Chains A and B, each alone.
Chain A
Amino acid sequence: MRKQLLTCVALFFTLCLYAQDRVVTGTVKDNGSALPGATVLLKGTSKGTATDADGNFSLSVPSDGTLVFNFLGFRSQEIVVGNQSVINVTLDPDEQQLAEVLVVGYGTQAKKEFTGAATRIKASDVQDIPVQSFDQALIGRAAGVQISLPNGVLNNAPVIRVRGVNSISQSSYPLFVIDGIPVTAGDNLGTTTVTNNPLADINPSDIESIDVLKDAASTSIYGSRGANGVILVTTKRGKEGKAKVTYDGWVGWTKAVRLPDLLGAEQYMEIKNEARRNAGQADAFFPSYNADGSLVDTKWYDYMFQTAVSHNHALSISGGSAKTSYFFSTNFSRQEGFLVSNEFDRQGMRFNVDHELNKWVKLKAGINYTNSENRAPNSGSLDGNAQGIIGAARMAYTLSPNVPAYNADGTPALNMADANATIGNGANTVVSVYYNPLTLFPLFKNKSMNDRILANGGVTLTPLKGFTFTTNYSIDRLRVDNVSSAAPLPGSSGYSTKGSVSNITGIINNTDFSNTLQYETRLGEHHITALVGSDVQKFSTDQWGANVQQAADTYFTSYQGTWGQISSTGNVLTSKSFLSYFGRFNYDFGSRYFLTINYRKDGNSSLGAARKWGDFGGVSGGWTISEEGFYKDLTLANTLTSLKLRASWGRVGNGNLGPYASLNLYASGLNGAAPALGISQAGNADLGWETGDQTNIGVDLGLFNDRVQVDFSYFNNDVSGLILGVPQSASKGIPNNSIVANIGSLYNRGIELAISGEVLKKSKFSWNASFNITTLKNRVTSLATEGSRLVSNSSGNPFNMTEVGYSVGTLFGAVTNGVNPANGRRIYINKEGKEVQYSLVVPAGDFQWSYLDGSRAAAITAADYQPLGNALPTWYGGFSNTFKYGNFDLALNFTYSGGNYVLNGNTGTWLDQRYFNNSEKVLNRWQNPGDITDVPRLVYGDNFASANIPNISAYIEKADFIRLQNIMAGYRLPSPVLSKLGVNSARLYVQATNVFLITGYSGVDPESSINGNRNTSPGVEYNSLGNGRTITVGVNVGL
């Protein structure tokens, strides 16, 4: 679009031409292809022209003149005309200049005039990364923005935190605005089994740039939606010139990494029978033999994990005339996860058009349709699934290796005595509750499918000089179909009910109508821009569904079969709105002094009746010292080419509330056949805004002719009026034992440093590097009452707590002090600080819980739990490098984070003393008096000392890591080859993600989060899948 504007400007100049001197012609190109709309100016005059659709120009100039060639995004070039009559120019891309325009709320701003905190991420950084949604590819790219993948299941919403956790119970997910449309994002729209990240409906190849707004001065124009930062995505649009066609495609392979080493069959039987004997029980684990007489030693990993194959294709056609431009793209993606039967498909199309009706009316419109579908077995990795018996990760770790996968006749080994025909037990006398993955995966299917239309249309009017009126209407209409189907066959979790199929369909509708009026003027060195506007957003969810059971025939696995029983499920009918008025005033003087003031008034239907309106806003200022006359005379100016100080303060809100959070509500149900009513939500009529006061002080430096750029910011975000589900004593009988209230405050403080630039450039070789680091201190400063502690559960377990003086979601549990060498019992420290030891089974006269002197002690309960470590990283960042040599390029992107702890709950599973298989760590168990070890004496059935309650200090580990997130090597085909092929450009590359991880963490992945984005329960890994490693080969072609 910018190209177009320039074209207009250029055309204007053309009209003013006088015939004079002689005519020079030529072509302007960018490294091969023609550049239409490039300006050609006679230096020192307003005389000039623009190149036509083929990049050609023709201009009358005096022979002593100098021509200046300009094109946005390219370095300008000056050429003395002399006696040349044909001047062909090739412009070099200027990446720095590209970065110099930022997309801000309801408009754009030159970076040099910008005084807030924002980071731009270029499309080229993310487009070839093999992910399902572009947000997953932003890892490590922007200072202050921490992104991690909670597990390796396809299409997870990543955990995104812009400058820390800015809320406790509300979402900390940033607002995503795509081409001006605030879209549905961050929620998991799938089921408890299959994920659905709505951002996956955006084709990563369609993205032109991503701007992350981080401080209140930038985000307060979004008022109550800006508390967690705003991520503005700009998609590609057509440019004037003949049609350009691009194709991007890749094919990739993914494998699971860092899986624990489990016991083989013989070790398993030895360990488990030892535990049985220690518990005074008979052996229960016995060998099974294959037909050839060999011992059954099943590697269950082989039946659950795979080398996944994925491929992705994107095709675009774009172009335009002077007045009208268009962009069309289509994409197709089919991806597999390393977990068997985890699959993701997407197909979509995007079309947009810009049209200049006349000098003062411009129209733009766009539509994007996407159909995506994610299919997954229960991975056990999603919120609340850690202890399910159908969770794949837990199954993979725990299934008995001495049990055969198949019967002698080749059918899957099942326990037909169980109503669901769970996994067979081989020769073991213990019955397993788990399923055989050979039947469970094919017979229990879950899918979540989206049909998404993102459409917007807008008009821009410039009725009077300086005035711009823009109106925009957008629709984000998303239909989600969630289907969960358990077949009525043995070995399916739905066998006992003769099948169970749930279909839930929903429409999530989100419309936005915004109007802005902007006035811009320059009076000498004064530059004023003022904007006022209004915005109305409506959200509605209309979802319904049914569950069927009792199949008439075992053939049926879909709702449309014949079933004996049907009941409704998944019904949701809600709506909420935001109503907003806002304004912005920008002033700068002489490109040296900058001031921006933002204001927004927001109404939110979710809040208490008298508290619906909130006032938000910010002020920021900047001083570009390097533009001052005195500075330019300093010798420092030779090194420190540019220097800008900036500071901002602002207030934002967090309006991500449930639609009826303030109300006392009663839900209807049935008691038998009679209608029943019961309280379903204890609301709070006084519920008001959660607000953040954010301060940002920064400096932007440009060194060595701006070859190196340094951005430094200090930020302090004080959040008050935190909306919390205040836990209520369970004896009050309030639904979910919780009532929302504004009862706390916290802060996030830290610094961000980003350094980027050209490290080396020698003829064909160049090395560009970009480094960023953020430090973060998160502290809760007040909660409802003095000393109150909010305990948050993961799958029902109190793994985290939030308390004044600690960071949000601090790890929580029992303090342990190793294993008593005398008897192999784990030692706990109770709340009085006394050492207490535990054994499930004890001889007569002894006690399960005893002091070390053998006298009876009270059991360790949650009342004895203590804070065990901060779960939020205190430093994180990324380091990316791009090397180029001739036609070769190589990029490396490292990410790192640390200063936090993670609960390695897997250890609990890996040492569980039921019939679960264990990791090799169990071999270090205590066996004889005097043994010094961290694995207690094995006691069969022990659910506490080592296993099912894993939140003990012994399992808390440091989470520091460095990961090579991506490595990519590419080769651009040289022009002679290209011309033979008839293509403009072509690049081949090989890429790998999650290449290696350097960490002391002994679990699967230090970035795991079994609770996804939930703020209050970070840093827990428990029976979940880590991230896989993906290698892709791909091609980018321009035609």
Chain B
Amino acid sequence: MNVNLSSKIKMNITHKSIRTITGLLCLVFLLTVSSCDEDKYLQKVPPTLIEAADVFSTPERIESLVNGVYASLKLANFYGGRLLLFSDVRGEDFINTGGNSFTGFDAWNHSYSSGAADILNVWSAGYSTINKANILIDGIAKYPDVVTATVATQYVGEAKFLRALSYFSLVTVFAQPYNKDGGASPGLPLRMQAETTLANNDLARSTVAQVYAQILKDLDEAEAALPANRGTTAGSLLNTTRVHKNTAIALKTRVYLNMGNYAQVIAEAKKIAPQAVAPFSAPAATGVAHALQPNVVTVLATDYTTTESILSMQFTSLDMLAGQSALGYMYYATPDYILNPTQIFSNPQWAATGDTRRGFITRRVVSSQNRDYLNKYGTAAPYLRYMPVIRYAEVLLNYAEAAARVGGAANLALAEELLKAVHKRSDAAYVFPALDQAGLISAILIERRIELLGEGFRSNDITRLMLPFPAKTGTVYSTPAVPTDAPSYIWPMSNDELLNNKLIN
């Protein structure tokens, strides 16, 4: 090869320089390439979730937080329906045919252990609703200027109502009845502050009486804080899906009834049923004009926002429950419960024909037997019927029972009038026999089982009166009576509490 020496040297120098420069560039590159904006890599916020610091930043978000408490109340294992089913099937009016612990068999069979999924779920659903209410109350105080004072007051009232309803639901299944000993029994841990940190894990139970006192305090404050009406037209959606003054009053009739404080039931009921004779209705001047509707089937099956539905859980095709979370599935579609033929189903007070409420029952032939199923929550997916939480009919029956128990001619007459208002709305032809005080109370209790069948009242109606749970005999499963002193008379506390809260006994 004929190469000029100088050019060869030059080439070498050039090569060497290129390589040296490249080497230096490499170093620079290495040191700088990833030290670019650290924040870009390390400070990440989720694009579909909102950080705590921002949730109280706008009126819209606070409104959403309020709706969030309702959404929590509507969890499948709470007022979404399963808790109501558990409560009903603990009573004597249903027979379990499935034996499936995922559809409430252990509630029916009185065989819950503290680790049962239903126990864990109901306990957690209740307390998660309570915590969301507490977070709302706490946040509104911490961010006072985002919404007006009026709106803030209303929101706090709503939160208190929802907290009260949650505590009431829990205390009536997880603690001894108030009437056992005037509320002296151990109740629930009473969580009254927002919990989002590791602190405050241990908290002892308050007594049943303390829990009731808190519920009533919340409801009284809610009544004062809540708006009288959420819509100008009758049947406004929000008057059924959000709470207002009368909702708090209505719930108080339920709470006082549980405590055997009949005078207070009457006092509260009078606010929304001031009449002495039918038709009863809440005065429009002070709030939503609640009244019984002509057809109860319509109220529950098609027209969910009448003035009879004081509070209901709303479902839409984007916000609904399905399968074993849906009552329509468990009562009707799968179906795991038949109406106990020997109980309320065949009670003479419930005419086999002519009572509109028989429309909630469908007879089908299963295993060559006639079986009667509750269709109150629909018969096929999707299950979009609103879940009733408080109906005016219940308030009237609470009122009737309190009046009947207090006694005296006027009260007994009023009680009978209230009972008939509820009964004759569905069966005008029915003629009650002559009713003395005891007979009247008994008729009212039967009426509750007919009118509120499947709406979650039966367990509490048994325990508040300190009655044993009757034995149930079915074709496949049977379960013995549960006396009031049996451990299974109430539900065991959740393992999630027992294992983690050291002050729980």
Chain A residues within CB distance 8 Å of chain B: 279-281, 284, 360, 389, 417-420, 425, 429-431, 433, 461, 463-464, 467, 469, 471, 496-498, 513, 515-517, 532-536, 538, 549-550, 565, 567, 571, 573-581, 603-606, 609, 612, 659-660, 663-684, 726-735, 737, 739, 741, 789, 791, 796-798, 840-841, 848-849, 858-863, 914-915, 941, 943-944, 948-949
CB–CB B367/A429 < 8 A: yes
Give, as a whole number of angstroms, the nearest-CB distance from B201 to chain A. 5
**Closest CB pairs A-B (n = 7):** A733-B131, A419-B333, A664-B52, A672-B314, A463-B23, A678-B68, A730-B496
CB–CB B115/A733 < 8 A: no
CB–CB B202/A729 < 8 A: yes
Cβ-defined partner of B98 (8 Å) among A431, A532, A671: A431
Give, as a whole number of angstroms, the nearest-CB distance from B337 to chain A. 12
Cβ-defined partner of B496 (8 Å) among A606, A664, A727: A727
Give, as a whole number of angstroms, the nearest-CB distance from A842 to chain B. 8
Sample of 19 further A-B pairs with CB below 8 A, known A660-B44, A791-B495, A941-B477: A280-B478, A463-B19, A497-B322, A565-B382, A573-B47, A603-B38, A605-B44, A666-B52, A668-B48, A670-B71, A677-B64, A678-B68, A727-B499, A727-B500, A729-B201, A733-B124, A733-B132, A733-B191, A862-B495
Using A573-B48, A664-B52, A675-B67 as known contacts, say yes or no to A862 and B367 having CB atoms under 8 A apart. no
CB–CB B203/A731 < 8 A: yes
A430→B477 CA distance, assembly (Å): 9
Using A669-B68, A678-B72, A733-B128 as known contacts, say yes or no to A417 and B106 having CB atoms under 8 A apart. no
Mask, B158-172, CB within 8 Å of A = 1, is 000000000000000
Q: Which of B27-35, B271-279, B352-360, B454-462 contacts A (4 or more CB under 8 A)?
A: B27-35
- Judged by a CB distance under 8 angstroms, whether B200 is at the interface is yes
- Judged by a CB distance under 8 angstroms, whether B6 is at the interface is no
Q: In the complex, which of the residues A497, A674, A791, A849 has the most CB atoms of chain B within 10 Å of its own CB atom?
A: A674
Cβ-defined partner of B499 (8 Å) among A281, A418, A517, A798: A798
- B382 / chain A contacts, CB cutoff of 8 Å: 497, 549-550, 565
User: Can you name 5 A-B residue pairings with CB atoms under 8 Å?
Assistant: A281-B478, A516-B30, A575-B44, A668-B50, A859-B492
CB–CB A532/B30 < 8 A: yes
Cβ-defined partner of B130 (8 Å) among A670, A733, A858, A862: A733
- Judged by a CB distance under 8 angstroms, whether B89 is at the interface is no
CB–CB A496/B381 < 8 A: yes
Nearest A residue to B198 via CB reads A739
Within 8 A of A (CB), among B116-141: 117, 120, 123-124, 127-132, 134-135
Nearest B residue to A534 via CB reads B34
Using A672-B314, A732-B131 as known contacts, say yes or no to A579 and B111 having CB atoms under 8 A apart. no
Give, as a whole number of angstroms, the nearest-CB distance from A728 to chain B. 6
CB–CB B203/A859 < 8 A: no
Cβ-defined partner of B333 (8 Å) among A496, A612, A862: A496
Nearest B residue to A576 via CB reads B44
- Judged by a CB distance under 8 angstroms, whether B364 is at the interface is yes
Give, as a whole number of angstroms, the nearest-CB distance from B73 to chain A. 9
A603→B382 CA distance, assembly (Å): 48
A863→B499 CA distance, assembly (Å): 7
A463→B135 CA distance, assembly (Å): 62
Cβ-defined partner of A731 (8 Å) among B111, B480, B497: B497
CB–CB A729/B113 < 8 A: no
Cβ-defined partner of A944 (8 Å) among B111, B132, B380: B111
CB–CB B41/A538 < 8 A: yes
Using A418-B334, A576-B44 as known contacts, say yes or no to A664 and B128 having CB atoms under 8 A apart. no
- Judged by a CB distance under 8 angstroms, whether B348 is at the interface is no
CB–CB B499/A515 < 8 A: no
- A840 / chain B contacts, CB cutoff of 8 Å: 111
Give, as a whole number of angstroms, the nearest-CB distance from A407 to chain B. 16
CB–CB A680/B49 < 8 A: yes
A860→B487 CA distance, assembly (Å): 12
What range describes how many residues of B lie at the interface? Answer: 35 or more
Using A567-B318, A663-B45 as known contacts, say yes or no to A914 and B99 having CB atoms under 8 A apart. yes
- B60 / chain A contacts, CB cutoff of 8 Å: 675
- A663 / chain B contacts, CB cutoff of 8 Å: 45-46, 49, 51-52
CB–CB B191/A660 < 8 A: no
A581→B38 CA distance, assembly (Å): 12
- Judged by a CB distance under 8 angstroms, whether B329 is at the interface is yes
CB–CB A419/B329 < 8 A: yes
Give, as a whole number of angstroms, the nearest-CB distance from B322 to chain A. 6
Give, as a whole number of angstroms, the nearest-CB distance from A472 to chain B. 12
- A513 / chain B contacts, CB cutoff of 8 Å: 33-34
- A683 / chain B contacts, CB cutoff of 8 Å: 52
CB–CB A862/B203 < 8 A: no
Nearest A residue to B64 via CB reads A677
Give, as a whole number of angstroms, the nearest-CB distance from B461 to chain A. 25
- B19 / chain A contacts, CB cutoff of 8 Å: 360, 463-464
- A565 / chain B contacts, CB cutoff of 8 Å: 317, 382
Cβ-defined partner of A430 (8 Å) among B63, B102, B317, B476: B476
CB–CB A943/B367 < 8 A: no
CB–CB A669/B492 < 8 A: no
Give, as a whole number of angstroms, the nearest-CB distance from A383 to chain B. 16
Give, as a whole number of angstroms, the nearest-CB distance from A495 to chain B. 10
Using A419-B333, A676-B70, A796-B117 as known contacts, say yes or no to A667 and B49 having CB atoms under 8 A apart. yes
- B329 / chain A contacts, CB cutoff of 8 Å: 419, 496
CB–CB B26/A660 < 8 A: no
CB–CB B74/A671 < 8 A: yes
Cβ-defined partner of B30 (8 Å) among A517, A681, A741: A517
- Judged by a CB distance under 8 angstroms, whether B1 is at the interface is no
CB–CB A730/B497 < 8 A: yes
Q: In the complex, which of the residues A279, A535, A733, A789 has the most CB atoms of chain B within 10 Å of its own CB atom?
A: A733
- Judged by a CB distance under 8 angstroms, whether B43 is at the interface is yes
CB–CB B191/A678 < 8 A: no
- A420 / chain B contacts, CB cutoff of 8 Å: 333-334
A429→B98 CA distance, assembly (Å): 11
Within 8 A of A (CB), among B238-295: 241
Using A467-B23, A861-B498, A943-B106 as known contacts, say yes or no to A674 and B42 having CB atoms under 8 A apart. no
CB–CB A731/B501 < 8 A: yes
- B127 / chain A contacts, CB cutoff of 8 Å: 730-733
Q: In the complex, which of the residues B26, B53, B61, B131 has the most CB atoms of chain A within 10 Å of its own CB atom?
A: B26
A791→B504 CA distance, assembly (Å): 17
Cβ-defined partner of B99 (8 Å) among A674, A789, A941: A941
CB–CB A798/B115 < 8 A: yes
A732→B504 CA distance, assembly (Å): 13
A848→B319 CA distance, assembly (Å): 42
- Judged by a CB distance under 8 angstroms, whether B109 is at the interface is yes
CB–CB A417/B367 < 8 A: yes
CB–CB A549/B381 < 8 A: yes
Q: In the complex, which of the residues A464, A728, A730 has the most CB atoms of chain B within 10 Å of its own CB atom?
A: A730
Nearest A residue to B364 via CB reads A417
CB–CB A498/B197 < 8 A: no
A665→B45 CA distance, assembly (Å): 10
A430→B323 CA distance, assembly (Å): 21
CB–CB B494/A670 < 8 A: no
A967→B51 CA distance, assembly (Å): 56
CB–CB A741/B196 < 8 A: no
Cβ-defined partner of B498 (8 Å) among A471, A516, A849, A862: A862
Using A517-B30, A728-B500 as known contacts, say yes or no to A796 and B72 having CB atoms under 8 A apart. no
A860→B115 CA distance, assembly (Å): 10
Cβ-defined partner of A677 (8 Å) among B68, B129, B367: B68
- B70 / chain A contacts, CB cutoff of 8 Å: 671, 676
Give, as a whole number of angstroms, the nearest-CB distance from A490 to chain B. 13
CB–CB A496/B380 < 8 A: yes
A938→B501 CA distance, assembly (Å): 36
CB–CB B38/A841 < 8 A: no
Using A463-B23, A949-B113 as known contacts, say yes or no to A660 and B188 having CB atoms under 8 A apart. no
- A429 / chain B contacts, CB cutoff of 8 Å: 367, 475-476
- Judged by a CB distance under 8 angstroms, whether B221 is at the interface is no
Give, as a whole number of angstroms, the nearest-CB distance from A469 to chain B. 4
